[in-house]
């Protein structure tokens, strides 16, 4: 029996939930006639199944010219008419607000029924636009989608001019980021140019403009009115902004966070910090341990409310804020530290963003199998700390970028770093199973619904090193900050081209691109990594250097694991040093060799278990079941390449 037949039978038997699943499967997997699709969607809708699936089918049928009267009747009754009054009210409120606004020069608002688009609510977040002239529905639109998809702040020499901004989120972003003219001592309005008056008016059904008009920052140009840009406010309105002194930025003005994430150890994070250090529109610093900065913020908050905060500079920044949040305290901390913000352009048109790389000693990803579903849930406790952090929750606008380096190189560099710590008398290091930790780390995958990764990009370390002029202007555009001279060299509080760690290459020296660290990783370990992480190799354009394209099965995996001699050697050496230190302290240590043998055997068993799981090519999902997808990879400007792309 076909799924549609099974669904009908289940519906006849009154097995509603099973029938819903069967009808949904029929829609997704089976070629159905228009009438059968309408039947399946209607059952889902009237049985209170997944209404979004039903709604989508009705809209598809309508756009195809199938069963239009029946589909539109259901759409109107179920989705439009219950919300029509709210749409009309919002339109009337926005029209009234713009009619009274001094910097909107067109007032001929059409009647609601004459608007060129109708917006049908689809879910709690978005709408489906309907064009009566074309008699078809358009693509889903979420006016509050937290993505900045254009380059607003490329040029700060002149007031901001932006065309056809219909996103509520982006309008609020502009309003919250561009400083008031009175605060910068010059004309600094946000000029919004709309090429079509009717299209702007249509979206007044969905936008909330009144809160954005209170500070009178916005200027609306319709069509040819853009020729007035920029307005001489002194001549036209008698307002001379030059008589106002520049006002220092306060903590509440800083609403933008650029989260420089730690995908894995030794991925080039310090290099990217050095590029952004000293940017005139960023407060930035080198990597900081997350637990350390979170602890400092928590302590400062407690001291502030107990009136015992000793840092008077931070206290002064917080004095005008009724109830400072952890985000306010962190921003105040950055604003008051010369090594974090001493270079800021105090006359800038925009409030600075906070550039932040909270670091962990290591990221411990786990994979949990969803039995029978061919899926694995990817999870890292460290990332959960970030998600729950009131610091991150306090920022309204978040851009996320993640440096990525060839995994085999990054892996070997990590082992090298740990190997250098072996025998440290102050803090004995137990070298972990770095190859398994790397294979489990799927932090280059994201849940698109995850707020922190909704607006994110992967950036190849190799591109930044070898083709900085082609890479960093594109990264600046993604982050919506000007590409400045400070991004053409590496610097930190230590000066130009600092040495982030002893022995590390400085500045744009490409040595770390080509190093293979052969004494810290062997070919079997690296072939294992390449095959089991081939998704990121493909996405980032890395060629295989160690996996030769041969068929892979469990025997291949077992053979690779049997030859993890380099990593096992460093693990063994680290434990031998620990045992030696214990004996030196007079502790009794027995059966060293046997303990180490069992430890390596346990590691091998776990390596094989993980590999067996990954050989099944599972779907990666979040702990809530949402599919995880590759974070988009930032591509350098091909016209500005100085060297061939690294592969």
HEC sequence for 15-53: CHHHHHHHHHHHHHHCCCCHHHHHHHHHHHHHCCCCHHH
pLDDT range class, residue 288, cuts 50, 70, 90: confident
Q: Which of 177, 160, 180 is nearest to 353 (CA)?
A: 177
Percent of the chain with pLDDT over 70: 99
Is residue 5 pLDDT above 60, yes or no? yes
The reported pLDDT for the residue numbered 589 is: 79
Quick: pLDDT tens for 86-99: 999 999 999 999 99
Q: How many CA atoms within 13 Å lie on the side-chain side of 58? A: 25
The reported pLDDT for the residue numbered 266 is: 82
- Tokens representing 325? 């949040």
The reported pLDDT for the residue numbered 490 is: 96
Is residue 131 pLDDT above 60, yes or no? yes
CB atoms < 10 A from the CB of 228, how many?
A: 13
Per DSSP (E only), the strands in 396-482 are: 397-404, 445-446, 456-460
Compute the mean pLDDT over every residue in the chain, rounded to the nearest whole number: 93
More confident residue, 32 or 264: 32
- DSSP secondary structure code for residue 443 in this structure: T
Q: Which of 302, 287, 306, 297 is nearest to 329 (CA)?
A: 297
Quick: pLDDT tens for 392-438: 999 999 999 999 999 999 999 999 999 988 988 777 789 999 999 99
The reported pLDDT for the residue numbered 424 is: 80
The reported pLDDT for the residue numbered 370 is: 65
- Tokens representing 528? 């294992």
The reported pLDDT for the residue numbered 21 is: 92
φ, ψ for residue 401, nearest 5 deg: -135, 145
The reported pLDDT for the residue numbered 583 is: 85
The reported pLDDT for the residue numbered 426 is: 75
Dist. CA 280–CA 351, nearest whole Å: 10
Domain extent listing, the chain:
1-66, 256-637
The reported pLDDT for the residue numbered 373 is: 67
φ, ψ for residue 127, nearest 5 deg: -135, 160
- Tokens representing 614? 């990954």
φ, ψ for residue 245, nearest 5 deg: -75, 150
The reported pLDDT for the residue numbered 193 is: 98
Dist. CA 99–CA 627, nearest whole Å: 46
pLDDT range class, residue 222, cuts 50, 70, 90: very high
Strand (E) or helix (H) holding 415: helix 407-421
The reported pLDDT for the residue numbered 372 is: 55
Render 97-148 in DSSP notation, one character per residue.
HHHT-TTB----PPPGGG-S-EEEE-SSS-EEEEETTTTEE---B-TT----
**How far, in Å, are 108, 361, 369, 429 from residue 433 at the CA level?**
69, 15, 21, 13
Is residue 477 pLDDT above 90, yes or no? yes
Q: 586: buried, middle or exposed (CB in 10 Å: 19+, 13-18, 0-12)? A: exposed
pLDDT range class, residue 174, cuts 50, 70, 90: very high
Lowest mean pLDDT, pick from 41-55, 239-253, 315-329, 370-384: 370-384
The reported pLDDT for the residue numbered 10 is: 87
Is residue 518 pLDDT above 90, yes or no? yes
CB of 481 closer than 8 Å to CB of 355: no
Is residue 149 pLDDT above 80, yes or no? yes
Is residue 296 pLDDT above 70, yes or no? yes
pLDDT range class, residue 380, cuts 50, 70, 90: confident
Dist. CA 122–CA 639, nearest whole Å: 42
Q: Which CATH class is domain 1-66?
A: mainly alpha
Helix axes 565-584, 523-532, angle to 10 degrees: 110
Is residue 361 pLDDT above 60, yes or no? yes
Dist. CA 361–CA 355, nearest whole Å: 20
The reported pLDDT for the residue numbered 172 is: 98
The reported pLDDT for the residue numbered 123 is: 95
Write down the H helix ranges in 49-80.
51-63, 68-75
The reported pLDDT for the residue numbered 628 is: 93
- Tokens representing 632? 């988009």
The reported pLDDT for the residue numbered 316 is: 85
């Amino acid at each position: 029996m076909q799924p549609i037949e099974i669904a009908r039978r289940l519906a006849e038997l009154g097995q509603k939930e099973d029938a819903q699943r069967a009808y949904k499967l029929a829609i997704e997997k089976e070629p159905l006639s228009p009438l059968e699709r309408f039947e399946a969607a209607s059952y889902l809708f009237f049985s209170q199944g997944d209404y979004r699936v039903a709604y989508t089918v009705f809209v598809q049928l309508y756009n195809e010219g199938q069963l239009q009267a029946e589909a539109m009747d259901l759409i109107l009754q179920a989705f439009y008419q219950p919300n029509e009054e709210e749409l009309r009210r919002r339109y009337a409120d926005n029209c009234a607000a713009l009619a009274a606004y001094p910097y909107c020069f067109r007032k001929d608002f059409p009647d609601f029924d004459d608007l060129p688009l109708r917006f049908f609510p689809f879910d709690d977040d978005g709408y489906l636009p309907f064009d009566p002239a074309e008699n078809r529905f358009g693509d889903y639109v979420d006016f509050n989608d937290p993505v900045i998809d254009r380059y607003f702040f490329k040029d700060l020499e002149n007031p901001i001019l932006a065309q056809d901004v219909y996103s509520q989120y982006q309008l609020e972003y502009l309003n919250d980021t561009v400083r008031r003219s009175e605060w910068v001592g010059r004309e600094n309005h946000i000029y919004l140019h709309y090429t079509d008056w009717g299209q702007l008016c249509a979206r007044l059904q969905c936008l909330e403009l009144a809160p954005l008009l209170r500070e009178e920052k916005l200027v609306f140009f319709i069509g040819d009115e853009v020729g007035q840009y920029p307005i001489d406010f002194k001549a036209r309105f008698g307002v001379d902004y030059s008589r106002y002194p520049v006002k220092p930025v306060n903590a509440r003005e800083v609403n933008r966070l650029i989260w420089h994430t730690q995908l894995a150890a030794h991925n080039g994070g310090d290099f990217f910090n050095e590029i952004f250090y000293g940017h005139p529109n960023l407060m930035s610093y080198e990597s900081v341990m997350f637990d350390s900065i979170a602890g400092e913020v928590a302590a400062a908050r407690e001291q502030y409310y107990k009136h015992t905060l000793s840092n008077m500079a931070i206290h002064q920044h917080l004095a005008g804020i009724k109830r400072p949040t952890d985000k306010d305290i962190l921003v105040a901390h950055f604003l008051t530290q010369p090594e974090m913000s001493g270079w800021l352009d105090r006359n800038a048109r925009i409030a600075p963003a906070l550039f932040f790389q909270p670091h962990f000693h290591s990221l411990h990803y786990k994979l949990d199998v969803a039995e029978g579903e061919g899926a694995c849930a990817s999870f890292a406790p460290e990332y959960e700390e970030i998600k729950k952090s009131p610091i991150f929750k306090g920022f309204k606008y978040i851009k996320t970028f993640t440096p990525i380096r060839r995994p085999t190189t990054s892996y070997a560099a990590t082992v090298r770093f740990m190997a250098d710590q072996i025998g440290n008398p102050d803090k004995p290091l137990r070298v972990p199973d770095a190859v398994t930790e790397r294979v489990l780390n799927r932090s280059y995958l994201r849940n698109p619904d995850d707020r922190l990764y909704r607006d994110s990009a992967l950036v190849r370390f190799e591109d930044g090193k070898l083709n900085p002029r082609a890479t960093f202007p594109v990264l600046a555009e993604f982050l919506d900050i000007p590409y400045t001279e400070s991004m053409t060299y590496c610097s930190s509080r230590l000066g130009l081209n600092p040495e982030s760690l002893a022995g590390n290459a400085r500045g744009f020296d490409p040595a770390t691109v080509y190093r293979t660290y052969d004494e810290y990783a062997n070919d079997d370990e690296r072939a294992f990594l390449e095959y089991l992480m081939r998704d990121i190799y493909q996405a980032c354009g890395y060629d295989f250097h160690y996996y030769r394209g041969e068929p892979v099965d469990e025997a291949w995996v077992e053979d690779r694991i049997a030859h993890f001699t380099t990593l096992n050697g460093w693990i063994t050496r680290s434990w031998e040093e620990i045992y030696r230190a214990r004996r030196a302290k007079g502790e009794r240590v027995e059966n060293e060799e046997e303990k180490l043998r069992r430890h390596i055997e346990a590691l091998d068993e776990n390596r094989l278990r993980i590999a067996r799981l990954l050989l099944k090519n599972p779907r990666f999902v979040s702990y809530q079941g949402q599919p995880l997808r590759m974070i988009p990879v930032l591509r350098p400007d091909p016209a500005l390449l100085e060297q061939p792309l690294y592969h």
